[in-house]
Amino acid sequence: MSRKSFFEERTVAEMQDMNHSEAYRQRGLVERIDGLQEDEGLIVRAQIIPGRFFLYPRVKTAEDASRMWLKYGDTIKLHYPETRRDSDSSPLTPLQVRAAELAKLSGMKEEEINFLGLSSRPEFGDRTVREFPFVYSPIGLRIFAYAEKQAGGIDVNVKYRDSARAVSDGVEVVVGVPSRSRRKARYEYKLMHVPVIRNPNNLAAVQLLRPQVIVDECGEPVEGRTKHDLWRMRYGGEQSEEGKFIVYQPQDVAAYIAIIKKESESHNLNPLVMNPFPIFSRRGAMIDKKLMNNVLIFDKTLSSKSKLRKPHLAERCVLLARAIGVFGHDEIAYWDPARDGKLRDYDWKVS
């Protein structure tokens, strides 16, 4: 299916026609990308994905290596309080936990920052690893902006707010998130353990946040997750108990922001305070926009004459992690409304 116009990006051919420079090394690369003007292009001839991912027997191309990175790439582990009791007595917020870990990137050499995203594993509840690739933050923000501007918003239905379990475990929220593809229905599913009601159990509840497919009145599952996410969930389910994991998707970011928006209308800021996702600043989001509209990767494994392509998802994750390391957490992975304006007003249009 073709993408809706709001999500259109420059093609490889269009970028080849731009005035461009070339980058042969990784150090200083994110500063060059950040400094690109709307009509400037950059061809990257440095290898972004760590070399060890090209050594797997089944890896024949850079695309294969990127896919392996998305499965097995290194993540930055978030250190929440270990027990539910410790979580209930902790004054920490997810933002403080994230900021403390991401601040460590500033002490690393740019070319040595090779991370897919964030991960955590609660030592209570389902004890399932949660992963969040960095690139899903700007993608989720773009989906939210589209929903707000052109699709009547994201559907949010908070269920069982007044139940006793809603206080201790968070609430379940049914959401409807517009697709990026033309003529495709919304993704409808639940987010479980959303910290809507302010109480000491919030930090424990948000560690258990997870999406859940819903069923219709006939008991059939509603198409609520992307094919990529369903594949990842099946893949995880084939592993040992220790190997199961949840990968949060861009739709989860967009949906959670919509929950923040809806609750803030009644002056409830708890979902914002307990937000588990990094919400990128305008600058951070625009770096990813430039990656998809101004940057080409030289790939010797391609059969095309130019051997140029757009960055893979895995490469965008690495470069966004490096942007956090070079410019700082607050500059890239933190939304400041006074500085960045409304999330819906980030400039995604390509002129």
Query: What digits encode the pLDDT tens for the residues 317-332?
Result: 999 999 999 999 999 9
Contact call for residues 158 and 173 (beta carbons, < 8 A):
yes
- pLDDT, residue 56, reads 84
Provide the b/e sequence for 330-344 (b: ≥16 CB within 10 Å).
ebbbbbeeeebeebe
Q: 296 vs 86, 217, 253, CA distance in Å?
A: 47, 48, 27
Residues in the chain: 351
Quickly state the pLDDT bin for 215 (edges 50, 70, 90): low
Query: Please, how many CA atoms are within 13 Å of residue 296, restricted to the half-sphere of its CB?
Result: 25
Residue 230 above 50 pLDDT?
Answer: no
Residue 10 above 80 pLDDT?
Answer: yes
Residue 233 above 50 pLDDT?
Answer: no
- pLDDT, residue 162, reads 72
How far apart CA 177 and CA 155 sit, in angstroms, is 7
Residue 184 above 70 pLDDT?
Answer: yes
Q: What is the pLDDT averaged over residues 2-14?
A: 94
Quickly state the pLDDT bin for 341 (edges 50, 70, 90): very high
How far apart CA 43 and CA 311 sit, in angstroms, is 10
How far apart CA 149 and CA 204 sit, in angstroms, is 34
- pLDDT, residue 294, reads 98
Residue 129 above 70 pLDDT?
Answer: yes
Residue 222 above 70 pLDDT?
Answer: no
- pLDDT, residue 1, reads 67
The dihedral formed by the CA atoms of 132, 138, 139 and 140, expressed in degrees to the nearest 10: 70
Give me the percent of the chain exceeding a pLDDT of 70. 91
Residue 345 above 80 pLDDT?
Answer: yes
- pLDDT, residue 229, reads 55
- pLDDT, residue 225, reads 59
- pLDDT, residue 245, reads 86
- pLDDT, residue 55, reads 87
Hey, which bits of 32-153 come out as E strands? 40-44, 75-77, 117-120, 129-133
The 187-194 sheet, strands edge to edge: 155-159, 171-177, 187-194, 210-213
Alpha-carbon 66 to chain mean position: 16
> How does pLDDT run across 268-301, given as a tens digit for each residue?
999 999 999 999 999 999 999 999 999 999 999 9
Tokens (6 digits) for 276: 């588990």
Contact call for residues 190 and 170 (beta carbons, < 8 A):
no
> How does pLDDT run across 92-105, given as a tens digit for each residue?
999 999 999 999 99
Indicate the pTM of the whole model: 0.92
- pLDDT, residue 159, reads 81
- pLDDT, residue 224, reads 61
Contacts for 177-182: CB closer than 8 Å, 24+ residues apart: 177/143, 177/147, 177/251, 177/254, 177/255, 178/143, 178/146, 178/147, 178/151, 178/154, 180/3, 180/4, 180/7, 180/143, 180/146, 181/1, 181/2, 181/3, 181/4, 182/1, 182/2, 182/3, 182/4
User: Does residue 19 sit in helix, strand or coil?
Assistant: strand
Nearest-CA neighbor of 297 among 49, 19, 44? 44
How far apart CA 266 and CA 261 sit, in angstroms, is 9
Amino acid letter for position 60: K
Amino acid letter for position 170: G
Average pLDDT, rounded, for the chain: 91
Query: Please, how many CA atoms are within 13 Å of residue 256, restricted to the half-sphere of its CB?
Result: 29
- pLDDT, residue 171, reads 94
* Strands 40-44 and 295-298, sheet pairing: parallel
Hey, which bits of the chain come out as E strands? 19-23, 40-44, 75-77, 117-120, 129-133, 155-159, 171-177, 187-194, 210-213, 245-247, 295-298, 308-309
Quickly state the pLDDT bin for 24 (edges 50, 70, 90): very high
Quickly state the pLDDT bin for 199 (edges 50, 70, 90): very high
Distant-in-sequence, close-in-space partners of 160: CB < 8 Å, separation ≥ 6:
166, 171, 172
Quickly state the pLDDT bin for 236 (edges 50, 70, 90): very low
- pLDDT, residue 239, reads 37
How far apart CA 128 and CA 26 sit, in angstroms, is 34
Residue 67 above 80 pLDDT?
Answer: yes
Tokens (6 digits) for 124: 């209570």
How far apart CA 162 and CA 160 sit, in angstroms, is 5
